Amino acid sequence: MTEFTEDPGEPRDRRSGGLLLLAALAVIAIPVLVGVVVLKSNSASTRTPTEFDTDMGGGMGTTTDDANGVPSGVGAFSTIQATDIVIEPDPAGGAAVLRVSTTLDVVCAVAYGPTTDLGSLATDSDMAGGAHAVHQPVLRGLTAGVTYWYRMGGIGPDGKLYLSDLMQYTFTGGGTDAVAPPEPNVAVGAAVVAVSSEFSDAFAAANSVDGSPSTEWSSAGDGDAAFIEIDLGGVFAVSGVGFRTRSMTDGTSITTSFTITVDGETTYGPFETGPGLSVALVEFQGRVIRFDVETSTGGNTGAIEVEVYGAPAADDDDDM
């Protein structure tokens, strides 16, 4: 479990990040936002890290307005928090998935940054949109070893706002059991030669080889039958492959294992997948790689990115 601590040092302005987060929630849920919230300044708490964890920082205790940084007239996020906050770093570095569930369907966002001014926002990325009880925003642009401040916020269907205290998270850059990519990703820009289906143009297969974590390929309900086949443009000596599963906040569309088939002949796997990037170390030479979803939670399965790590094969220089 990630440890959360509150700053024991000088008093700080607890408005930091609150206006940013509430403004974001107002934009996300403008039809139900009818008031203007004025955030009040409070001095730093003198609670111990243990007390902070019990009250708010990943636990499910209760907090009071103002004393813990929650503005007057705004509900404490802990009152709708159903599970601990868990932050799972991407083994490739630079990002982490924050997971938390709420007792209400709310539009949820998290403001975060290296100082109490925060400055960055992350929201649930879901094809269906709207409010959810299971939240998994992705915090991007993180640097290993840096401690980040963050604040959770949500707005319910009745227009009520919920806000957490400022919390801290130190980004490690990868999980303890994570496997790092062994070579550069040579799948960026690869040609998609076959795909099981595409949900829409916005979720096209090409999104899974564009090198961007903000786009994704979604199938049209293929579940375990989803696949994508890419052409690297030449023969590569490969030392590993990677898979970033897409997911829905209702728990569907998550790929739990995948296989690859090289040049239509040899199949490797299945390889397990998890949050963020899952890397499988496997050696072969090939050009056309097919990724098949082996097991999943069903639904519109797909991938944020499929990755191939390697270098041009020594005898293939003329083909590149």
Together in a domain, 145 and 207: no
Together in a domain, 22 and 142: yes
Amino acid 123: pLDDT: 83
Q: Report phi then psi at 100, rounded to 5.
A: -160, 145
Residue 8 lies in a domain: no
Report pLDDT digits (tens) over 110-141. 999 999 999 999 887 666 567 888 887 888 88
Together in a domain, 41 and 104: yes
Q: Flag the least confident range among 7-21, 186-200, 244-258.
A: 7-21
Together in a domain, 309 and 215: yes
Look at the pTM and tell me if it is higher than 0.75: no
In the structure, how many helices (H) and strands (E) does the chain have?
Answer: 2, 17
Q: Is 132 helix (H, G, I), strand (E, B) or coil?
A: strand
CA distance 235 to 238: 9
Domain end among 104, 138, 170: 170
Q: Report phi then psi at 37, rounded to 5.
A: -100, 130
Residue 64 lies in a domain: yes
Together in a domain, 161 and 207: no
Tokens matching residue 192: 């998609």
Together in a domain, 36 and 146: yes
Amino acid 137: pLDDT: 85
Together in a domain, 203 and 310: yes
- First-to-last alpha carbon distance for the chain, in angstroms, is 46
Q: Report phi then psi at 152, rounded to 5.
A: -90, 145
Amino acid 124: pLDDT: 75
Residue 288 lies in a domain: yes
More confident residue, 256 or 99: 256
- The band of 52, judged by pLDDT with boundaries at 50, 70 and 90, is very low
- The band of 195, judged by pLDDT with boundaries at 50, 70 and 90, is very high
DSSP the chain: --------SS---TTTTHHHHHHHHHHHTGGG--S-PPPPP-PPP---HHHHHHHTSSS-----BTTTSBPTTSEEGGGGB-S--EEEE-TTSSEEEEEEEEEEEEEEEEEEESSTT--EEEE---TT-S-EEEE--EEES--TT-EEEEEEEEE-TTS-EEEPPPEEEE--SS-TT----SS-BTTTTPEEEEES--S-GGG-GGGGGSS-TT--EE-SS-GGG-EEEEEEEEEEEEEEEEEEE---TTS-S-EEEEEEEETTTEEEEEEE--SSEEEE---EEEEEEEEEEEEESSSS-EEEEEEEEEEE-GGGGGG-
Residue 176 lies in a domain: no
Query: Does 2 score more than 50 pLDDT?
Result: no
Q: What is the mean pLDDT of the chain?
A: 77
Q: Flag the least confident range among 2-11, 105-114, 217-226, 228-237.
A: 2-11
Domain end among 170, 204, 220: 170
Together in a domain, 84 and 141: yes
Phi-psi region of 137 (alpha: psi -120 to 50; beta: other; left: phi over 0): beta
Together in a domain, 154 and 28: yes
Amino acid 132: pLDDT: 82
Mean per-residue pLDDT for 266-290? 92
Report pLDDT digits (tens) over 293-304. 999 999 999 999
Together in a domain, 120 and 249: no
Count the domains in the chain: 2
Residue 178 lies in a domain: no
Q: Domain containing 55: what range? A: 18-170
Burial of 52 (0-12, 13-18, 19+ CB in 10 A): buried
Residue 301 lies in a domain: yes
One-letter amino acid of 156: G
Mean per-residue pLDDT for 194-203? 95
Together in a domain, 246 and 287: yes
Query: Does 91 score more than 70 pLDDT?
Result: no
Residue 52 lies in a domain: yes
CA distance 153 to 46: 23
- Residues with Cβ within 8 Å of 122's Cβ and at least 6 positions away in sequence, in order, are 98, 109, 110, 112, 137, 138, 139, 140
Tokens matching residue 264: 């239509």
Residue 309 lies in a domain: yes
CA distance 172 to 123: 21
Q: Report phi then psi at 259, rounded to 5.
A: -125, 165
Report which listed range, 27-36, 112-121, 168-177, 307-316, is most confident: 112-121
List b or e across 22-36, with b for residues whose CB sees 16 or more CB atoms inside 10 angstroms: bbbbbebbeebbeee
Tokens matching residue 98: 């924050």
Domain end among 109, 138, 170: 170
Amino acid 219: pLDDT: 97
Together in a domain, 69 and 32: yes
Q: What CATH code is carried by the domain that includes residue 206?
A: 2.60.120.260
Q: What CATH code is carried by the domain that includes residue 95?
A: 2.60.40.10
